[in-house]
Structure 1
C-alpha cells in the first residue's frame, strides 16, 4: 500500500512538472497538456470592465507575479436569463482568451482566432464545440475569447457620451474583439504562433463581427485573412442617437429620471436589469470607431485588402423557428413580393414561401453581394454548406471537428466525420496561405462576377457556376437599392 501511494505521488509530481509554461507580456502561465495540444485557458486580455469601468473601452491587463494557473476557463460574459445553456459561470469580469497550441515545439505557426455568435446577446469562447484540439493537431494555434454582450457590450446613453472625451461609444463588445486581437499580436509568438499570419473567423453574429472588422481602419494589421460564416450583409445598424434613445429606455428600469441620469447612476444599475434589456443590441455607427456599416465600405471597395472566405448554410431558414415567418414577408413591398413569388415558383403557402426566400435573402444573397465587391486583386472564396439538414450554425462542429461535442444532436455517422475532415481542412489550408484546399474536392476558384464560382460543401463537394443566379441576382439588386437609400435603423441580429 505504501508503494501505491508513493507511485501516485511520483505520477502527480510528474504531471505537474510536465505542465506547459509560457511567459507573456503580463506574466507567466501554467497550462495543461492533452493528447493533442498544450492548452492555456482564462488568460486576461483586458482589465476587468467592472464598477467605474463598465461601459468604457478595454484597457490592457495588469501584470501578475509568480505563475498564473491557466488550466480553467474564465467566466462567460453576462447574458440574459434563458438565452444560453452556458458552460461557465457568468461575470462582468469575463475578458479572457484561451489558446490551443500544437505540441510540436516550433515557431511561426498559422493562427486562427474564433469569434462566437449568439445575436451579440449570448455565447462564450469556452463552448465545448469550440475546442481547438483538431486545429492544434494540424499545426494551427487556435484562439478563442469572450467579449461583452447585449446591454453591457453595446449600450449608449447621453451621459456616457458627455463623459467620453472622443472615445468610441456603444461598441464596447466590438472594442473587446479588437483588444483580443491586439493581445494576439503582442503575445501569440510566445505560443509559437506567427502574428503576421492570423486568420479571424466567426459565425452568425460572430460572422457579422468578422465582416465589420474587415471594414474598420482600427483593425488594420491585426489579421491577414478572414472567414465570414453566415454573417449577413452588414447593413442593419443603428446610429448613436438611436442607441442613446434605447439606452434612456433601458435606464428607466432602474433610474428615476433616466434621461438625465449621471454615469455613476447608470453604472449602479443592477447587472440583471441591463442584461435582460439588452435584446437586439449590437454594433452601432458611432462616427468614431464605426463611421459606416460594412456594406457601404465594401461598396466603395474600401475594406481591408485581405483574402476572404464567405458563405452560409443551405438551411438558414432554421432561424425562422425563433421569429414569426410573417416578419420576412414584411421586408418587401407588394411589387417586390410579386416578383419573388414568380421567382420562387408561386408557392401558395405563405410560411413555406417565407422559408424558401429567407436563406437567400439574409445569408447567401448577402455573401454573394459582398463577394461581388471584393478589392481588386484580392481573392474572395464563396461557399454554401449543404451536408445534411445544414441549419444555421450547423457547419461549426464540422469546421472544429467536434461533432461529438454538439448538445442534443444526433450521433455523427461515418459520412459526417468524413465531411468534417475535409471541411476542417478547407478552413485550415486557407489559414496557412490564403488558398482553401479541400481534400477530394475540385480546385476552389476565387469568386468573380464573370466566373460566379461557389463551392458547395456537401457529402461530395463540388464547384458550381451561376448557382441560383436569377434568385441571388434579385436579392443582390434589392440590397444594392437598400444601400443606395441607407437609413440607420434597428439592429436585426443574425443570431
Structure 2
C-alpha cells in the first residue's frame, strides 16, 4: 500500500507542479491551484462557432503556441434568462465552446485499493431547458467531488436557436443531410476531447461517467441512444430528466418537422439566405423566441430513445437515474390552485382527456389540491421518464441499473423541488445561504459518495453508506433519500404505471395507424400528442 500511495503521489505531483503545463492535442495548458487542488478553466474543445461556422457541426479548435493560461472561465453560450423577467447573463458570447477540469486535492484524498494509475472522470452536462445553463455555474464546480478521487469536467454547448435550429438549407449543405442537433454535437465533441486528452490530467479515458440534470439528463438519454456516442463513456447518471415519451408522434422531434419550425423562425427573422442569417447579430437572433428540441435526424439520433432501448440498440453503460418528490413545484408559481379549479389548472398544461383519465379525482381542500397538482406535474413531466429509463435499461442492458427518489426538503424550502438534489450531489451546501443542519450535511456527504463511487466502479455502495440495491424488474426498489436514507418500494409507483398504460396505448395506436389507417389519422394523433407536450410559462425549467 505504501508503494502504491507513493506511485500515486509521484504521478499527481507531475500534474500539479506549477512549472509543468499539461499537454493537450491543441497545445499546453496551465491551471490554477484552488483549495489544494488544481483547476483548468476555459479550455477550448472546438473552434468558435462564429460566422460561417454558425449552425455547423463543431470544428476542431486551433492550436496555439506556448502555454495557455487556463485561469478564467469562458463566457456562457448565448441565452435568455430562465424567466421572462430575468436579465440575460452579462458574460455571454457565441464563442463559448470551452470546458473546465477539476483535479483532486492530494492533501485531502488518499487513494486506497486502486489498481490503475488513472482516475475516474465525471463529465457534467448542464441543464436549463436547452435554452439556459453554463459550465461555470458555481454550483457545478467540481471540487466537492474531485476531493473524493475523481476528475470532474464541465462543458458548455450551444443553446436555443444557436444549438437546435433545423432548416432545409442547413440540411442541404450538411455532409450528412441533417440539421438542428448542434448542441448535441457539441456535447459529443466535448466528450471526444475528454476521451483523447484526459489521461494527460491523470484521468482514465476508459472510465468516463457522463452526468446531468433536467435537460442535461435529457441530453444524456439521447446520447445513450446515439450511435455517435458509442465508446465515449462507460457510465451515465440522469437526474430528473429523460426523453422516453412517444416522440415519434410529435412533428418537432422529427427532422422534417424541425425543419418546418426552422423555416417559420427564419421567416420571422426576415432573412433571405443562410449567408444573411449567419451575418445577423447574435443578440437579434436571441431576441426571437425559439423552443429547442432534439430531433430524430438519422445521424445523431436514428430512432427515439425509447425505441433504441426497447430494441436493445442503446449504448450499454452503467446507469443511475432518479427524480425528486416535488419536481412540479415550479409550475405552481404564480398560480392559485384550489380544490374548485384543480382540473382546470392542470388542463392548462395537459389535454383535458389526460387530466380526466389520470389526474387526481378529488381534493378535500385547497392544500390537498396544491399537493395533488404538484404530484401530477412531477410524475407527468419527470417521474415517468426516469422510471421508464430505469425499466428499459434493466430489461435490455447487461450493465448495472440504480434508481433513486429524492424526498428531502432543504431548509426553508417548500419541498424537494426540481433541482433540489444538485447542491447535495455536488457537496456544495456553501453555494446557498440556508440554515443547513447536520442532516443536510450528512445527505450531501452521502450523495457525493454515492455519485463518485458509481463513477469509479458502476456501483454506488461503499463503506458506511446505506445499502443501495441494484434495480431490476423483479426488485423495483428505489433508494429513498430523505432525512433517513434507505431502499424502499417506489412511493409513486401506482401513478407511474397509470401514465405508462396511457403511453402504451399511444404507441399501439401509432403503430396501427401508421400501418393501416393512412396519413390522416396519424396526423390527428400527432396533433393530439403535440398538445400533451404543450409548454407552460415555466417550460424552461421542465427541460
- The one-character-per-residue Cα deviations of 1:138-182 (angstroms, maximum 9, x if unpaired) are 110000010000010000122212222325410000000000000
Match of 1:482 in 2: 506
* 2:279 pairs with 1:268: yes
* 2:231 pairs with 1:221: yes
C-alpha deviation, 1:73, in angstroms: 0.4
Alignment check: 8 A CA contact 2:467 2:486 kept: no
Aligned in 2, Cα 1:305/1:323: closer, same or farther, shift over 3 Å? farther
C-alpha deviation, 1:34, in angstroms: 1.6
Match of 1:293 in 2: 304
Alignment partner for residue 456 of structure 2, among 418, 432, 437?
432
Alignment partner for residue 475 of structure 2, among 430, 444, 451?
451
Alignment partner for residue 441 of structure 2, among 417, 420, 431?
417
Aligned in 2, Cα 1:143/1:223: closer, same or farther, shift over 3 Å? same
Match of 1:385 in 2: 406
Mapped to 2, the partners of 1:432 and 1:56 lie a distance apart of 35
C-alpha deviation, 1:244, in angstroms: 1.9
- The one-character-per-residue Cα deviations of 1:420-465 (angstroms, maximum 9, x if unpaired) are 0001111000000000126654321121222111000112101112
Aligned in 2, Cα 1:86/1:268: closer, same or farther, shift over 3 Å? closer
* 2:40 pairs with 1:40: yes
Report matched runs for 1:54-69 at 5 Å.
54-69=54-69
Match of 1:180 in 2: 190
Mapped to 2, the partners of 1:62 and 1:118 lie a distance apart of 29
C-alpha deviation, 1:293, in angstroms: 2.1
- The one-character-per-residue Cα deviations of 1:73-117 (angstroms, maximum 9, x if unpaired) are 011100125656777611111000100012449941000000000
Report matched runs for 1:213-252 at 5 Å.
213-235=223-245, 236=247, 238-252=253-267
C-alpha deviation, 1:395, in angstroms: 0.7
Match of 2:421 in 1: 395
What's the RMSD between the two structures over aligned residues? Answer: 2.6
C-alpha deviation, 1:25, in angstroms: 0.8
Deviation larger for 100-109 or 86-95: 100-109
Alignment check: 8 A CA contact 2:210 2:237 kept: yes
- The one-character-per-residue Cα deviations of 1:27-86 (angstroms, maximum 9, x if unpaired) are 111110122311100000001000010000001111100011100001110012565677
Mapped to 2, the partners of 1:234 and 1:274 lie a distance apart of 30
Aligned in 2, Cα 1:151/1:217: closer, same or farther, shift over 3 Å? same
Mapped to 1, the partners of 2:118 and 2:534 lie a distance apart of 39
Alignment check: 8 A CA contact 1:110 1:193 kept: yes
Structure 2 unaligned runs (5+)? 1-15, 338-343, 410-414, 511-525
SS of match in other structure, 1:454: strand
* 2:370 pairs with 1:357: no
Match of 2:341 in 1: none
C-alpha deviation, 1:411, in angstroms: 3.4
- The one-character-per-residue Cα deviations of 1:124-148 (angstroms, maximum 9, x if unpaired) are 0000001111222111000001000
Alignment check: 8 A CA contact 1:312 1:364 kept: yes
Mapped to 2, the partners of 1:189 and 1:86 lie a distance apart of 36
* 2:144 pairs with 1:134: yes
Match of 1:96 in 2: 98
Match of 1:201 in 2: 211
Aligned in 2, Cα 1:233/1:47: closer, same or farther, shift over 3 Å? closer
Mapped to 1, the partners of 2:132 and 2:501 lie a distance apart of 33
Alignment check: 8 A CA contact 2:178 2:255 kept: no
Deviation larger for 196-205 or 154-163: 154-163
Aligned in 2, Cα 1:32/1:125: closer, same or farther, shift over 3 Å? same
Mapped to 2, the partners of 1:293 and 1:61 lie a distance apart of 31
Mapped to 2, the partners of 1:294 and 1:483 lie a distance apart of 14
Match of 1:52 in 2: 52
SS of match in other structure, 1:316: coil
SS of match in other structure, 1:90: coil
Aligned in 2, Cα 1:263/1:335: closer, same or farther, shift over 3 Å? closer
- The one-character-per-residue Cα deviations of 1:226-273 (angstroms, maximum 9, x if unpaired) are 001011343345222222222222223332xx5xx3210121222123
Deviation larger for 324-333 or 202-211: 324-333
Mapped to 1, the partners of 2:228 and 2:174 lie a distance apart of 18
Mapped to 2, the partners of 1:327 and 1:429 lie a distance apart of 42
SS of match in other structure, 2:162: helix
Question: Taking structure 2 as the reference length, what is the TM-score of the superposition?
Answer: 0.81
Aligned in 2, Cα 1:144/1:480: closer, same or farther, shift over 3 Å? same
Question: Taking structure 1 as the reference length, what is the TM-score of the superposition?
Answer: 0.88
Alignment check: 8 A CA contact 2:244 2:305 kept: yes
Deviation larger for 30-39 or 304-313: 30-39
Deviation larger for 320-329 or 94-103: 320-329
Mapped to 1, the partners of 2:186 and 2:334 lie a distance apart of 29
Match of 1:3 in 2: none
* 2:166 pairs with 1:156: yes
- The one-character-per-residue Cα deviations of 1:352-403 (angstroms, maximum 9, x if unpaired) are 5332211122222222222211224322111011111211011111111111
C-alpha deviation, 1:19, in angstroms: 6.2
Aligned in 2, Cα 1:82/1:448: closer, same or farther, shift over 3 Å? closer
Match of 2:4 in 1: none
- Relative to its length, the structure with more helix (as a share) is 2
SS of match in other structure, 1:315: coil
